[in-house]
Structure 1
Amino acid sequence: MSSLLAIAGVLFVARKIADHWTEIDASGLGPTTWACLGFAGVAYGAANALLARAWWHLLKQLDTHVQWPTALRIYGISQINKYIPGNIFHLAGRHTLGMAAGWPARPLATSALWELMLLAALGALFGTLAIPLLWSHLPPLAAIALWAALLTLMYAALRTGGVPGIAQAMWLQTCFLAISGTVFLSVLLVTHEADTRAGLLLPAACGAYVLAWLAGLVTPGAPAGVGVREAVLLFLLKGLFAPSDLLVAVVLGRIVTASGDVFFYLSALTLQTEAEQHA
């Protein structure tokens, strides 16, 4: 069923592109724009290190103390597997590489579970930023205040609950999601000129992106959320941006994030494991 949803999402985006193909004009994207998109890709790839650090804190909370460079390398090498259909192979690959490094299986499995639960909860919290897109009675500033309050409560609950490592992981994941949303916004802003209303709702657009990312995350059959993320974005932002502008941003945004994932993977390959450092 999840694979069918992923295929349906891809077909949905493809149909929208076909419907508005004549309106899409990428000829205006000059060298400066492409340079900005390249920088955004590098920034997104580097931000993945925040997820790796969060995983390292989760392992530490579970009494599995590992070298940070080794954890970063394992996370970076395995993370690219999220593009394999099934959307679980990055977790399986990380587990396998961790065990190969001599780490116990149970903390590895538990850390993956905690990571997914935290990301799902945070994705839902970011969704509060997008409420003004669906319910205009809530002002954007009120949505931001609600998001900040819920985020603070979640962090405080974890911190006072005796799990500081999980609280730290939550904070790092929050930073990653915020950067991811900002990267998408940068793609929107460099590819078209936003009007006044769009400018006021940019935080809502950021929340919409993270919510779309969450939809892709919880769809196991969608590799890296391909199709699902794009379909949700087009639905949530259809009234805020012109369809042609949004389609260009969605397509370029996927290229930027995929390029960033490749950059993170290649960077991880250059790191040495603990065993190699002592060889």
Structure 2
Amino acid sequence: MTAIARLKPCLRWAILGGTLFFLGTVLKQHWQKVLAIRLESTGLACLAIALGMTLLAHICAGGVWSRLLQDFRQPVQGVWLVQAYLKTTIAKYLPGNVWHYYGRITAATKAGATLETATVSVLLEPLLMAAAALLIALMGSQPIAAQYGLPVLMLQWLSLLVVLASVHPRIINPLVRYLGKLKQKATKAPSSMSFDLKDYPLVPLLGEVGFLLLRSAGFLFTFLALSPVLPSQLPLLVSAFSVSWLLGLVVPGAPGGIGVFEATAIALLGQTFSPGLLLSVVALYRLVSILAEVAGAGLSWLDERL
């Protein structure tokens, strides 16, 4: 076992401990303000809309994953894959944060896709999500750039260029062929992979932008459930949400990005909104997200049974 492999679990626990310590410190300092916040009837309506937006976002993400496999010209059924996507999403909260990917690979192979293509589609999906998050964050990055300086903005642009290049067919197709060779060596049988990605996955990328916009709308309606928002504050909220969601996706920590998303959102928005309000918003949004994922999995299961 290499030194990096031995340090990886320690890094995860360190990130989790740091984020929980940060959240606990903020809660300890502002818990009275959190308790003073009350939900009105209009707030409950906003939360219902946020739940619907978040559920619709997951359905959109399932459609994007299905389109990725179709771009590889795999004989898969789109509706069934969307159902499989929704059922496996809840598995991201299991320890290891990889079981939802394993479930999707298994579902795609059962639907008729090759193992190589299913694996690449599962690897490609979070890259497209990351690119979409960076695109949306850059649209409203002026307040964050003014707060944290030009280097943060340059890092966002550099990260976007790297991610967009990584999903180009010239990168993806050699990866597919390499996976095919590995399977051929392991099974001593010819690889079943014969299709490449012909064009840049622009349509799936736009679909992931739609996914992130719907998730951002869910966050905004959760915010509106507790406090009014000025139109001038919308770009900041959307950009901060996109950055927070992206870090929750890529930073190794608690499963499902729990803690990382909340700590980042509070840090980015802390100079504009009160910490007590932000704590309530991120806690409510986490609840909305989990309920939407459970609802998606439950509706998919019910639809299959009916």
Which category of TM-score, normalised to the shorter sequence, fits these structures? 0.7 to 0.9
Partner of 2:243: 211
Following the alignment from structure 1 to structure 2, what is the Cα–Cα distance between the partners of residues 17 and 37? 22
After superposing the two structures, state which structure 1 stretch, 252-261 or 92-101, moved more: 92-101
Partner of 1:87: 97
> Number of aligned pairs?
258
Give the number of the structure whose alpha-carbon radius of gyration is greater. 2
Q: What is the 5 A alignment of 1:19-98?
A: 19-25=29-35, 28-98=38-108
Q: Is the 8 A contact 1:129 1:208 kept in 2?
A: no
Following the alignment from structure 1 to structure 2, what is the Cα–Cα distance between the partners of residues 30 and 137? 33
Q: Is the 8 A contact 2:76 2:108 kept in 1?
A: no
Following the alignment from structure 1 to structure 2, what is the Cα–Cα distance between the partners of residues 174 and 263? 22
Following the alignment from structure 1 to structure 2, what is the Cα–Cα distance between the partners of residues 167 and 200? 30
What secondary structure is seen at the aligned counterpart in 2 of 1:20? Answer: helix
Letter in 2 for 1:244: G
The equivalent position to 2:199 in structure 1, one of 151, 158, 163, is 163
- Structure 1 runs of 4+ off > 6 angstroms? none
After superposing the two structures, state which structure 1 stretch, 97-106 or 74-83, moved more: 97-106
Q: Is the 8 A contact 1:86 1:221 kept in 2?
A: no
Following the alignment from structure 2 to structure 1, what is the Cα–Cα distance between the partners of residues 228 and 52? 23
Q: Does 1:229 align with 2:261?
A: yes
RCO comparison, higher one (Cα < 8 Å, 6+): 1
Partner of 2:303: 271
Post-superposition shift, 1:254? 0.9
Unpaired runs of 5+ in structure 1? none
Post-superposition shift, 1:137? 8.8
Partner of 2:184: none
After superposition, the CA RMSD in angstroms is: 2.9
Partner of 1:258: 290
TM-score normalized by the length of structure 1: 0.83
Post-superposition shift, 1:158? 7.0
Task: Note the alpha carbon deviations across 1:62-120, whole angstroms, 9 max, x for none.
Answer: 12121112101111111111111222211011112333444310110010111121112
Following the alignment from structure 1 to structure 2, what is the Cα–Cα distance between the partners of residues 267 and 185? 25
Following the alignment from structure 1 to structure 2, what is the Cα–Cα distance between the partners of residues 256 and 35? 13
Following the alignment from structure 1 to structure 2, what is the Cα–Cα distance between the partners of residues 37 and 172? 24
Query: Identity across aligned pairs (percent)?
Result: 28
Task: Note the alpha carbon deviations across 1:25-45, whole angstroms, 9 max, x for none.
Answer: 355212331232123112211
Letter in 1 for 2:216: G
Partner of 2:225: 190
Q: Is the 8 A contact 1:209 1:233 kept in 2?
A: yes
Q: What is the 5 A alignment of 1:118-157?
A: 118-136=128-146
Q: Does 1:173 align with 2:237?
A: no
Letter in 2 for 1:211: V
Partner of 2:192: none
Following the alignment from structure 2 to structure 1, what is the Cα–Cα distance between the partners of residues 211 and 243? 14
